[in-house]
Structure 1
């Protein structure tokens, strides 16, 4: 929150123009009334501005340079710290609720990971521009949003700057940075399911040349599902040393510890959730696992960001980070087989007895990542160039083991009794992975400006080496990827653009027929769109409107060749995704804030060695998603300081999995329309807020990846927050 001099509203014509733009996506919203000169004497001299940086402006993650989003020929969504705070987003899955082309929470309110899809694909996760030490099984390390300044989503291929990545996109989380002026906050939260949190962050100078920041959090919560609880500790320190007027060194640390008790997966049978059950409907709170289940995770990273300006035109930036990730599930009892059908006649025996299994898992990932580049600004022949030339390197080792114990017990779906054998920790008897990856990449980009016309040319060569100690395989893969794009920024603020980009991902294994190692998976995207900012409107109007259409093709996908497990495999798979997206982030006269989006995503498997997959949609990729959130702040009179807001989110149904010879029936999750709301009161030093999501408590099945794998979506959550700012 900042304090600004009082400004009067602008003329009616400008207000109507802004209203018309909002109405293109949402229902008309009444703007603040004009303040006439004779009224000014009755209005307070200052107002407290909430969320002044609500609307993003720069797309650093999309370009590794401070190029404005309006000049970036690709769709990028930036969820700012102000958006995160105002809407009380707790994790990345919640943060994309009002973002186009991105789908989260498809496993409900998971307390461990962020399950996201971007344009049909699982995105790659980055922190401060460096790849996180993702595990083999889950492409997410589940970091806490409170530690970060922003959450950026680059849609479409990002390999031209980042290396191996899926064609749907990637996301990057930026840690809080030290500031030269002292500020901070301490906040306490309490809410649904005994949600308790105490957190704080502070920053400021330690001397003439050194500044710091320190962020800490403690959370203790339960879940919608019975007998599930989670505890989290977080510490994120940072220190900046202004070594010279042209040289800065920032040290960045991150530590997070999680303990989750109980069955967090919520794998429920399709009967009683998505399909009728003669015994009754299954409650979202039912737990088919064990309260003795335990998930432990410790992760930390330490690194630096070094910048040096040789002169006004040439700078050097170096980012390096070492990371360590450890997770362990010594006990993981869950409902694994759906309702029991002992005579295999296709009809459950009693529609209430569910088979249980125990899945234990542990993994350790160690990572070194570094990215070093020169940023060069120059004018030549009437052209403005923003050039980056860089090299990055990753060295990752991960070891994982598991145990799967099928049919350990049964449990009643409607009246569970948690009675298990004494030994619930059978260990990790089976090696899952033991491999190392070394990836190096050289990249360059030139952002060329000719008046209002901009061209972006990016290219990268990657060399990947993977050593698998379990199979003895040593594979080497390389790829060249690139992006070309152009846009024209009219003086009015409209900027049409077009781009073409490619991607690649390493693929482990050998072809079932030839015995040769697989080629990297390859993707390509064509995207065209238009962006608009508020430069043609009077002061007080901030917005970023993006509309895009695209087509993505990915080939060289490995699919199983008619086996229960993907031991025999061929590299013939290909998928295609076509879509259209519209997204608006707007703020008017420091009073009205709007998030709105719509996505149309049409996905299809066009080639596969598994005939059943051909023509199928990609899992967890609904055709339609629409959302709008509007927040209004009162700045005058007796309600000054109060704010109210509300939102509606619609997500269409989507397939839970791909069909196959051993799973011919595909189930779809249910469509949902959810309502969110906020009421708050702000002063210069305090903030009191009450945030509610899915306040009507709509009950819906978010995903069914099989007859025994149904998960309810996130139910109602209401959280009260008290924040002391300083």
Structure 2
């Protein structure tokens, strides 16, 4: 077992320096840039280059289902805009949260299939354009490419009062690219390490006076840090908007994505040679203990609409609907999950190099219909404003999943050779899940303004029915959730706030102790903090800062981890997460970009029927995360368009899993300090950029879920991008 390391003096100095640098840059840079602009105004009028006008977000639509500013939202929200995504060259959602407080990605290293993200200790639900994504039974991600979206929004804390069933840590919502009545777009090519090759493009414009469109496409062919792994992806995402009348608009949104991944994308390396010494040496991060014949295939599509009709100046009807289908299949899934062979069961590996392989085949089909219909009502009476929304949403999701699991061969840890397996495709003989979920929710929210004070109150009643399609048995659960919070906005843009919110998630099955059907798990959060925007600063200064402290409690947790549904266990668990977060996003005079964040998280299992779990931290929930990114652009003059940037990210170690009778030893991943860098050149029509992440190629174990479940973190990645804008 790797003992937890206490924070060293160097670690404390590093984080103190990081925070000091963030505060100093945000305070001093505006003055310096303003002075530079004044001194050189007469001599640098040749060219003006503006590269990221929407770098700092202001709209809190994800948090409120209404056009309420972030500064008036009594809850933490992080929005990674398209300008941020492009500048930092994020290629997936795991990378997108690198500089975001309270959110953690890449805990399983670079996975080519899914986005593994945690928020405040929990796995968030994924939404696309405000509607639940058709996620699989066990993984809360459909892996849609980040290029398809205009922004990546992270709502932290309970969100059930508007969205229904969701974990207490929050959710993330990806907003699709939209049509525009002005012609424009881009064509882009990327080339990077590990044979990364991508071509992509997006175009938008008018089809007539009332109809506009957008079309986004991507083709990706890449390798991986692990040997004998490759992936191909094709994405097409069309959208059409029809302005039926000045008061009525209909937008159709769609996507199709096809993925094929060959080889073993997961780590599943032994603890000996990664976290613990191996007498034969250290395991190379490129080691692949799976098989080049492994195959993961996935096709998914979604089609729907957004409709709005203004019934009057203050009343608008909004309707969203999406039909989705998701299919994945792994006919061959060989991996080194057995760990080092210990034939005599004495606790010591036989030779420290022979690894037992397993073959896990899996397929799942998900069909989903989601709809959300609501009224948005704005009132102003006697100096008191109301922004009221009230609506009904409905979700029907059908999951059908099957699997196979057999022993495979053995492989040499330090000289892997991939012999012909006795059984390459074990088929899908066992049922994993076959159920239909129906959820109906009625919700209402009033955002009330009394001068500079804003009160937000939300409530929702949900009814959930889950039918086992094999036995026709049904379970019904219902829950009432709510949120209430207030903000006071001073003239200088400082806005203290406080809120209380609740959440729920359905839990299927029968309690093994009481023989009663499970109740929904319940979560609650108290959050207090302060937000600050740039309203008190001169024009050209865009800034949004959130500092928050929170406490989350989740009850009715089933101690046995879910596997085949319904699960078997007893519902006595309770977990608690306490945290402090700081996040700054700033763009100053279209020259200086700053992203800074700090997360301090204390998580604990408070109650459990499994005694070993009590007192343990939640998996992949590091106690500390700190980051700083700074980018500077020469905006005008002879070197206009040149830019350079750098970032540093620190993440402390975190537990790989929870202890139990079959997991007496829990390993922690390793702390990491990673550096990123950017150099680029922009013109009005072109961008040439080189982005590097983990540029010093630090090797660290991101997670170790057990003796055979260790995964290295993402190594060095360098990607060159050429973009033609029009």
Equivalent pair of 2:398/2:436 in contact (CA under 8 Å): yes
**What is the aligned partner in structure 2 of residue 443 from structure 1?**
443
2: CA distance, partners of 1:563 / 1:594: 42
Other structure's SS at 2:94 match: helix
Q: In structure 2, do the counterparts of structure 1 residues 27 and 533 end up closer, same or farther at CA, with 3 Å as the change threshold?
A: closer
Q: In structure 2, do the counterparts of structure 1 residues 336 and 40 end up closer, same or farther at CA, with 3 Å as the change threshold?
A: closer
Indicate whether 1:637 and 2:637 are aligned.
yes
Q: Which digits, 9 at most, give the CA deviation of each residue in 1:188-242, with x for residues without a partner? A: 0000001000000000000100000000000000000000000000000000000
**What is the aligned partner in structure 2 of residue 10 from structure 1?**
none
**What is the aligned partner in structure 2 of residue 109 from structure 1?**
110
Equivalent pair of 2:390/2:445 in contact (CA under 8 Å): yes
Deviation at 1:560, TM superposition (A): 2.7
Deviation at 1:169, TM superposition (A): 0.4
Deviation at 1:619, TM superposition (A): 0.1
Equivalent pair of 2:22/2:628 in contact (CA under 8 Å): no
Q: Which digits, 9 at most, give the CA deviation of each residue in 1:566-597, with x for residues without a partner? A: 96410000000000000000011110000110
Equivalent pair of 1:561/1:609 in contact (CA under 8 Å): no
Task: Describe how 1:549-560 pairs up with structure 2 within 5 A.
Answer: 549-560=549-560
Deviation at 1:42, TM superposition (A): 1.5
**What is the aligned partner in structure 2 of residue 515 from structure 1?**
515
**What is the aligned partner in structure 1 of residue 349 from structure 2?**
348
Q: Which digits, 9 at most, give the CA deviation of each residue in 1:38-70, with x for residues without a partner? A: 743321254110111000001100000010000
Deviation at 1:420, TM superposition (A): 2.2
**What is the aligned partner in structure 2 of residue 309 from structure 1?**
310
1: CA distance, partners of 2:450 / 2:90: 40
1: CA distance, partners of 2:416 / 2:378: 66
2: CA distance, partners of 1:628 / 1:350: 44
Task: Describe how 1:60-99 pairs up with structure 2 within 5 A.
Answer: 60-99=61-100
Deviation at 1:369, TM superposition (A): 0.2
Indicate whether 1:491 and 2:491 are aligned.
yes
1: CA distance, partners of 2:693 / 2:39: 42
2: CA distance, partners of 1:25 / 1:116: 29
Indicate whether 1:286 and 2:287 are aligned.
yes
**What is the aligned partner in structure 1 of residue 56 from structure 2?**
55
Q: In structure 2, do the counterparts of structure 1 residues 101 and 24 end up closer, same or farther at CA, with 3 Å as the change threshold?
A: farther
> Which stretch shows the higher mean deviation, 563-572 or 238-247?
563-572
1: CA distance, partners of 2:663 / 2:38: 71
2: CA distance, partners of 1:561 / 1:534: 46
Other structure's SS at 2:41 match: helix
**What is the aligned partner in structure 2 of residue 603 from structure 1?**
603
* Structure 2: unaligned runs, 5 residues or longer: 1-18
1: CA distance, partners of 2:136 / 2:643: 42
2: CA distance, partners of 1:627 / 1:619: 21
Other structure's SS at 1:312 match: coil
**What is the aligned partner in structure 2 of residue 524 from structure 1?**
524
Other structure's SS at 2:507 match: coil
> Which stretch shows the higher mean deviation, 423-432 or 581-590?
423-432
Indicate whether 1:238 and 2:239 are aligned.
yes
Task: Describe how 1:538-687 pairs up with structure 2 within 5 A.
Answer: 538-560=538-560, 568-687=568-687
Indicate whether 1:133 and 2:130 are aligned.
no
Other structure's SS at 1:684 match: coil
**What is the aligned partner in structure 1 of residue 262 from structure 2?**
261
Q: In structure 2, do the counterparts of structure 1 residues 342 and 422 end up closer, same or farther at CA, with 3 Å as the change threshold?
A: closer
**What is the aligned partner in structure 1 of residue 185 from structure 2?**
184
2: CA distance, partners of 1:256 / 1:537: 44
1: CA distance, partners of 2:697 / 2:25: 25
Q: Which digits, 9 at most, give the CA deviation of each residue in 1:447-503, with x for residues without a partner? A: 000000000000000000000134543100000000000010000000000000000
Deviation at 1:640, TM superposition (A): 1.3
* Structure 1: unaligned runs, 5 residues or longer: 1-18
2: CA distance, partners of 1:561 / 1:155: 24
Deviation at 1:563, TM superposition (A): 13
Other structure's SS at 1:724 match: strand
Equivalent pair of 1:560/1:566 in contact (CA under 8 Å): no
Other structure's SS at 1:70 match: helix
* Length-normalised TM-score, structure 1: 0.95
Deviation at 1:514, TM superposition (A): 2.4
**What is the aligned partner in structure 2 of residue 153 from structure 1?**
154
Equivalent pair of 2:268/2:711 in contact (CA under 8 Å): yes
1: CA distance, partners of 2:20 / 2:663: 49
Deviation at 1:422, TM superposition (A): 5.7
Equivalent pair of 1:25/1:596 in contact (CA under 8 Å): no
2: CA distance, partners of 1:466 / 1:356: 36
**What is the aligned partner in structure 2 of residue 712 from structure 1?**
712
**What is the aligned partner in structure 2 of residue 8 from structure 1?**
none
Indicate whether 1:396 and 2:397 are aligned.
yes
Deviation at 1:565, TM superposition (A): 11
2: CA distance, partners of 1:630 / 1:40: 24
Q: In structure 2, do the counterparts of structure 1 residues 21 and 72 end up closer, same or farther at CA, with 3 Å as the change threshold?
A: farther
* Length-normalised TM-score, structure 2: 0.95
Q: In structure 2, do the counterparts of structure 1 residues 38 and 707 end up closer, same or farther at CA, with 3 Å as the change threshold?
A: closer
1: CA distance, partners of 2:140 / 2:564: 23
**What is the aligned partner in structure 2 of residue 363 from structure 1?**
364
2: CA distance, partners of 1:419 / 1:561: 35
2: CA distance, partners of 1:286 / 1:403: 25
Q: In structure 2, do the counterparts of structure 1 residues 557 and 712 end up closer, same or farther at CA, with 3 Å as the change threshold?
A: same
Task: Describe how 1:327-338 pairs up with structure 2 within 5 A.
Answer: 327-338=328-339
**What is the aligned partner in structure 2 of residue 13 from structure 1?**
none
Equivalent pair of 1:559/1:566 in contact (CA under 8 Å): no
2: CA distance, partners of 1:83 / 1:561: 37
**What is the aligned partner in structure 2 of residue 462 from structure 1?**
462
2: CA distance, partners of 1:435 / 1:557: 21
Equivalent pair of 2:590/2:635 in contact (CA under 8 Å): no
Other structure's SS at 1:612 match: helix
Q: Which digits, 9 at most, give the CA deviation of each residue in 1:402-433, with x for residues without a partner? A: 00102x21000000110022641121010111
Other structure's SS at 1:47 match: coil
Other structure's SS at 1:560 match: coil
Task: Describe how 1:13-24 pairs up with structure 2 within 5 A.
Answer: 22-23=22-23
2: CA distance, partners of 1:390 / 1:86: 37
Other structure's SS at 1:638 match: coil
Other structure's SS at 2:84 match: helix
Equivalent pair of 1:22/1:28 in contact (CA under 8 Å): no
